[in-house]
Amino acid sequence: MTDTETTSATATKKSHFGSRAHRISQLDLLVDRINKVSKVFAGTTVANILDEASVAVTDAKVEAATLPEDWRPSGRQVVRKAKVELAVGNKVEIKAKKQEGYKDLLTAAEMSDLAIISIVGKKARCSTSTGSAVVIPLSQLTVAKAA
């Protein structure tokens, strides 16, 4: 990596996205690198893939030029599953994927008929139908299905 590239990489880290001109110059550098590598693999499938990448980056450069100077991405969009709140007193059961680990400790009936006694951190103390208690990570529990 040259001094210019090092300085450029450091500047990118500091500003994260930098100015529009900086973003476009980074895309130019990327196109140049792709083209250099493509020449090494001339006439192969790799060269074809690199040519397609070069076209895609060139298109991105054109799109980047149309963005306003003060544009910033809105942030990472994370889609999460809805979490079910487990609380003291809830009837729970051990998730099907995790039941194998509890076969020696609990019967099948006990695994599907637990009640949360207390929650400490990420673990729940549960009572079984026979009256014994067991500590299970919350991530391995799910709300019991209605009978």
* Residues 76-134: tens digit of each pLDDT: 666 555 566 788 888 998 888 988 888 888 888 888 889 999 998 889 999 998 888 99
For a pLDDT cut of 70, what percent of the chain falls above it? Answer: 78
Q: How far apart are CA 22 and CA 16, in angstroms?
A: 11
More confident residue, 55 or 41: 55
Mean pLDDT over residues 28-54, rounded?
Answer: 79
What's the pTM? 0.43
